[in-house]
Structure 1
Amino acid sequence: MAKQVAKAKRQQPGSIIKVLRGGKCFHIRLPSRFSLGAAVCSYGFAMLAPNSWQPNPVPGGRSHCKGVLQRPLQLQSGGAVRATIRQSSSRVLEVATSKKLSSADVAALHRQVLRMLRLGTADDAVACAFAEGSPDLSQHTPVGRLFRSPTVFEDLVKTFTLCNCGWTRTISMNEKLCQHFGGPLGAFPSAAVLAKVTPRRLKKLCGVGYRAERILKLARAARAGSLDPLSDPNLGEEDASQRCKGIYGLGPFGVANALQLLGFYKDIPADSETCRHLRQARGLRSCTLQNVALVAARVYRPYAPHQFLRYWTELWRTYEQRMGTTAWKADPSKYRLLTAAHMKVPRQSYQAAPAKELQNLYPDFVACSPRGLLPALDNEGEHVYDSIVLLEYVHEIFNGPPLLPTSPLARAKVRLWSKHVDLHIVPNFERLLAAHDAEARAMAREDLVQALALFEEAMSPLAKGPFFLGSDFSMADAVLAPWWQRMCSVLRAY
């Protein structure tokens, strides 16, 4: 009888089937219709250090259907070990390490893997219910399991790095946290390690800015056991919400994101990307940054209690459609390029008018700039728009003072820092103007000042005159000048 009970437990999804290779490897029973690739390639935290996803393309299929996930995991006995996770068959997940594990360490790694891939009993029930409620999304790919970190603490730190900045900076902050405080394996730093760091050192080494105090307070709270209730499988949604709201520095967006990471999907962490999705994919042109939370709540209410799952799966599918299968290449530098090019909301904001109305009112302009973006140029029938592209075009076509230097290195630096203005200075300036409260304003101001300081730091060894390159006016000056002029007059009020 005892053997039958033990065998039945091993057959349950999420349970350990067996331990192999002298304790260096163990197998986990998977639920039906599970895909490691779909579970990992489901949420942006999979792109953040110390996670490393290595896809194994399937001929004729999606490139991330199979692959290997590698990252350091914390041992019960202390320290960390690098784990390699692969799906060896439709119902078996293999977790392998180079170190012999004690039974306590196997149990610790088992818990972390279950959490990352949402393989618990409650997670399985959610995935099944969501798939039944959204058959249009679940027909070809398993849905309902969004990747997360192996611990609540790591999820919350990453949530702090997610707020009020671009995705490239989020990637950078997490890389530096692992690099400087993750030990020889580059693991995600533990609460005990971060609790001993000073805010000044954390800011300097990891570039986290105002987040330093919040991360350190969170680390001290975790070390004291204050976060332990958030790992309780019996935790209710209301209790979880109140506890998340009590975390220092976690605003409404952060609370909503923390709740979905804890398995509660009612609230949608709405931001500019939510607004873009509702306007473009759902056709809700009346959606704005001011009303996006209310609009999102109304649109996804029919999918309760899985509103966030529905929203995020829709959004993620649009990312994959735009990025193609190259989105999940193993080289982390690809994540920066792809997210900068495809996952950021275009900074231009304009009100769309019906195509016929535009054609009637501004036929020449529409021919020159089909998307209605300014500035645009018509040079004897050659149409060019987008400010930076247009500047390079002017430099190459027309006679006059060059906007790009002749030296390849100097040219590269001008292009690099022109892009810095476009990706970091302009969006943070607009965030500052759009901030609705003192805290959001302070965050945006700090990020803007930091972006300007980086530009000034790059300029100082080059400039022996009034311009970026010294005495010569360049494209970098042209890109920054209009925004700098506005800042000087507008920011006095901030």
Structure 2
Amino acid sequence: MPSPEDDPAAPVVELELPLCAPPPGSAPFDLEAAVCSHGLFMMAPNRWDPASRALVRPLRLASDRAASVVARVSRHPARPSDSLLVSILGAADSLTPLDQSSILEQVRRMLRLGEEDGRAVAEFQSMHAVAREAGFGRIFRSPTLFEDMVKCILLCNCQWTRTLSMSAALCDLQLELRCSSSTERFQSRTPPIRECKRKRSNKRNVRVKLETKFAKDELVCLEDPNLATGTSNDTTNQQTYENSFSLLSATSETGSTAEVSLDHSELKLGNGLCLEDCGGDFPIPEELANLDEDFLAKRCNLGYRAKRIVMLARSIVEGKVCLENFEGICKMSEPALEGLSATPSSYERLNEELSTISGFGPFTRANVLMCMGFFHMIPADTETIRHLKQFHKRKSTISSIQKELNDIYGKYAPFQFLAYWFELWGFYDKQFGKISDMEPINYGLFTASYLKKAIANS
């Protein structure tokens, strides 16, 4: 990724991304609502700038997958109601038409701007007037399915502060790998960590500082099918099993809590535009497949997750897992649900395919499939139980949760998850303040202990 210190006059390429007119009965597209709709937007290398209401992150080039450029997604200043502006740093001479198309497609995926996405949003908002008024209906996701899958692993069975640090550490590692020589890149199973030689300015580079080291990870991912189907009566599991997409840690908070703090510096670009330095990009399969599992676990503090991530990357590189086929299945539809982005039958087919991949138990699979556009299933965990007890006054347990979810959200089929998440996200918004206004340095506050304090003071 180019740096403005290398070229202070680095040009900015501005790409226009037209927005489809909203279908009848749905709200106009809202960039802020589309981005700040899920904890994924807080994870590196994503950066939401609350001041400018813009999303900043590196994106891959189609012409060279090892290369990334910094993209800034904002409302088009001249046509804010029907276009987005995607500004690219320093790529005037190298950004091919194929690269431009790929960048826009990655933005479309993150913000769910496809025609099928729009029809699904309109269908849901026609059922849910309050969500329509709030512009809610799009759940933020990553530019690639691989990044979503890895982040599902990172979000599972650990505290939110650690999830943030693991994602940032993977992006830091990607930057170091990219700065190594081409002959060494991705070849060694235990690549040496090299100091990234970048020109320094008086301003500090953006970096994540781990103020407190986490204890060695000895957790076992509780991917118990009984928990996912709500048939387990194991109260211990109920206390420790945690929603891999919940911003709040549902596990017991013993010991010290690690804090993640961020130093932010602005990149001054041509035309007076300011972008945030995103550092490294999220690794692609080719960048992880040849890494030693123990090295990756230690370098990024991933614990048991390192093996699962490396195995996934290797399976993709070796052709054993084809993500394009997964996404092709996702686009298949049935007459009964014509026009929707996903159908139950394709859900079952994909769920079966994902179950063959090591580390993807029922709960993680359900969250990956939600990222792919399936909203009829609500993964249930202790955070779901807490929400139903507090919001709906239900005496929920792991064994009763699925029935109660069906009773409450069944009327929104096939968008039960969207109705549930709208309530849950609104609860977070109320307890922590408007999420889209939060500075990234405060994202680590989304913990169970801080929630208890917020509720007690409310």
Same topology, TM > 0.5: yes
- Report 1:94-493 matches (<5 A): 94-98=85-89, 99-100=91-92, 101-139=95-133, 141-182=134-175, 183=178, 185-225=279-319, 226=321, 227-232=323-328, 234-235=331-332, 236-284=346-394, 286-325=395-434, 327-329=435-437, 331-339=439-447, 342-343=450-451
Higher helix share: 1
Q: Which has the larger radius of gyration?
A: 1
SS in 1 for 2:59: strand
Distance in 1, Cα, partners of 2:449 & 2:135: 27
8 Å CA contact 1:319–1:342 kept in 2: the answer is no
Deviations 1:71-129 (A, max 9, x none): 00011112111111101201110111121210110111111111100000111011101
What letter corresponds to residue 81 of structure 2 in structure 1? Answer: S
SS in 2 for 1:148: coil
What letter corresponds to residue 277 of structure 1 in structure 2? Answer: H
Q: Which of the numbers 44, 62, 72 marks the counterpart of 1:84?
A: 72
8 Å CA contact 1:23–1:102 kept in 2: the answer is no
Distance in 2, Cα, partners of 1:324 & 1:333: 14
Distance in 2, Cα, partners of 1:307 & 1:269: 11
8 Å CA contact 2:131–2:137 kept in 1: the answer is no
SS in 1 for 2:433: helix
What letter corresponds to residue 201 of structure 1 in structure 2? Answer: F
Deviations 1:260-319 (A, max 9, x none): 1000111111111111101100110x2023433343233222211001111111100111
Paired position in structure 2 for 1:71: 57
8 Å CA contact 1:36–1:87 kept in 2: the answer is yes
SS in 1 for 2:283: coil
Distance in 1, Cα, partners of 2:299 & 2:109: 29
8 Å CA contact 2:289–2:313 kept in 1: the answer is yes
Paired position in structure 1 for 2:35: 40
Distance in 1, Cα, partners of 2:281 & 2:289: 16
In structure 2, the CA distance between the partners of 1:340 and 1:196, relative to structure 1 (3 Å rule), is same
Q: Deviation at 1:330? A: 6.0
Unpaired segments of 5 or more residues in structure 2?
Answer: 1-9, 23-27, 180-278, 333-345
8 Å CA contact 1:30–1:92 kept in 2: the answer is yes
8 Å CA contact 1:69–1:86 kept in 2: the answer is yes
Distance in 2, Cα, partners of 1:340 & 1:230: 35
Percent identical among aligned pairs is 39
In structure 2, the CA distance between the partners of 1:187 and 1:172, relative to structure 1 (3 Å rule), is same
Relative to the length of structure 2, the TM-score reads: 0.65
SS in 1 for 2:119: helix
Distance in 2, Cα, partners of 1:23 & 1:167: 35
What letter corresponds to residue 157 of structure 1 in structure 2? Answer: V
Does 1:29 pair with 2:18? Answer: yes
Distance in 1, Cα, partners of 2:403 & 2:288: 37
SS in 2 for 1:24: strand
What letter corresponds to residue 391 of structure 2 in structure 1? Answer: A
What letter corresponds to residue 113 of structure 1 in structure 2? Answer: V
8 Å CA contact 2:29–2:135 kept in 1: the answer is yes
Distance in 1, Cα, partners of 2:105 & 2:453: 36
Paired position in structure 2 for 1:54: 49
| Coordinate RMSD, CA, aligned | 2.3
What letter corresponds to residue 134 of structure 1 in structure 2? Answer: H
Distance in 2, Cα, partners of 1:344 & 1:224: 46
Paired position in structure 2 for 1:406: none
Q: Deviation at 1:203? A: 0.8
Q: Deviation at 1:344? A: 7.5
Q: Deviation at 1:329? A: 4.6
SS in 2 for 1:77: coil
Task: Tell which has more relative contact order, 1 or 2 (C-alpha 8 A, sep 6+).
Answer: 2
Distance in 1, Cα, partners of 2:111 & 2:69: 18
8 Å CA contact 2:159–2:447 kept in 1: the answer is no
The runs of at least 4 aligned residues of structure 1 exceeding 3 Å deviation read: 182-185, 327-331, 338-346
8 Å CA contact 1:160–1:211 kept in 2: the answer is yes
Paired position in structure 1 for 2:182: none
